Amino acid sequence: MNEAIKKNEYMSSLFRYIENNMPFDLDTKLLSGFGYVSHAKLYRDFYSISGHSVKEYVRKRRLSNALALIKSSDFSVTDIALQCGYSSHQALCRAVRETLGLTPSEYKSGDVHYFFPPFSGEPLQSVTVANETIPRMLCVLFYHSRLLNIENMAVSTFLSVIPDYGGRIFGRNGKQNGGKFCYELYLTDTGRDYGELKSYGFERTHEISCSISMFATSTVPNDERKINAAWDYLYSEWLQNSMFEYTDKPYYEEYILKNNKPVKLKLYLPIKRRTDETKITLTSNPGLSFIVSRANGYNAERTASKTVIDYLNANHPYIVKTSKEFYVKKSANSYVCGVRVVNTDMRFENGDAENVELIAMCQNKYLVLESGVMGDYDRYAELLLSFALDNNIAADINGIFAVYDARKSFDNLKIKMYCPIK
């Protein structure tokens, strides 16, 4: 049997076993015996798939189950503690306070909801979390008029000019310069001059110092489709479900060479432990208004976004310059995209706004999921609906929308997912 399939089947069985035995002791020695694997292998595989240690995952699932009972049942805290695997009433109270800063009674009467769903889904690739040393490197910029495959063009051109290069090669996307796209190469052999590169579209810039950072890493074949899928998985799925969040440190791709040609890439996503849990709150009329456009079919999201921005640039440019909150509503074959506005007295004249409209969110109550990790839209929508189902809340599936918040940084967006309650 394929090793990856075997591993996935074992881990799926393990997650089911954890769910069925949550009230009991679930230490890693017991769980590794369940699958006849070593303690170390269990730890690595569990981290790779879920983004959590076994202990952290079990802790969050127990707390999620306990808080659901606190919120919706009449059981005593002591009974709930014993049902969910806590040693005592005090142990559950301590867990609630450490995570949410509340007592169980304050949580029961408040609008904050904690929800950590069981892991679901299949991993696309193996992920490793570790402190990695990024060596001292020299950055050279590669410019080209074509964006497609610019990474391989940069590496192959560099190696054709300097075939005897013996260091490591890292890379990442750079900033466009006029009509030229940019890819940054980082070279660990900093002692060379590299003057001959200038004639081939390269520009030598700066050096970066050696540093140690925590990264989620994954190795993939040098195939653009697989590389893009791997980055999407790392950021939008694995990170979103993990106990980590993205940092403002740079990401990297390291090229693994064979016969002087890149055959694989090691992806480095900088991360840190999350300081805040993903929380779900119940809120009344949020008072949000957006200028939006709708589009269907292929490239619908880009089409709708461009329509809104083009209209605002032509008629209300100050909104484009100042607004940093963006609306997205997704359905099977269409997108509604927009920009938040404060002035709801705007006038649409002379047919200029044929494809845009002003919408206001004024329904009485919404479930709101807020996260510092800008993950996959569908996954967050699924999380909200799962929470509503578990808590017997009648959710309006068709009314779900997301607001992406760039008020702190466009490089690290925050997300709020809204679900109207019927």
Tell me the per-residue pLDDT of 140-165, one tens digit each, with 9 for 90 and over. Answer: 999 999 888 999 999 999 999 999 99
| 2 pLDDT more than 80 | no
Residues 155, 161, 164, 166, CA torsion sign: negative
Structure tokens of 49?
Answer: 């798939």
pLDDT at site 365: 86
pLDDT at site 350: 46
- Please state whether 110 falls in left (phi above 0), alpha (psi between -120 and 50) or beta: beta
Query: What whole-number percentage of the chain has pLDDT above 90?
Result: 34
pLDDT at site 238: 82
Query: How far from each other are the two terminal CA atoms of the chain, in whole angstroms?
Result: 48
Rounded-to-integer distance, Cα 32 and Cα 144, Å: 51
Rounded-to-integer distance, Cα 29 and Cα 240, Å: 27
pLDDT at site 1: 45
| HSE of 307, CA atoms in CB hemisphere, 13 A | 22
CB contact at 8 A, 268 and 251? yes
- Taking the C-alpha atoms of 326, 330, 336 and 339 in order, what is their torsion angle to the nearest 10 degrees? 0
| 188 pLDDT more than 50 | yes
When mean pLDDT is compared over 52-66, 165-179, 378-392, the highest value belongs to 165-179
Helix 89-100 × helix 54-72 angle, to 10°: 100
pLDDT at site 157: 96
Specify the range with the lowest mean pLDDT, choosing from 37-51, 143-157, 226-240.
37-51
- Taking residues 335-345, report their average pLDDT: 84
* Mean pLDDT taken over the chain: 85
Residue 75, beta-bridge partner list: none
- Taking residues 168-191, report their average pLDDT: 93
Whether the pTM exceeds 0.75: the reply is: no
- Taking residues 98-126, report their average pLDDT: 79
What are the structural domains, with CATH classification, of the chain? 3-114 (1.10.10.60), 128-273 (3.20.80.10), 279-420 (3.20.80.10)
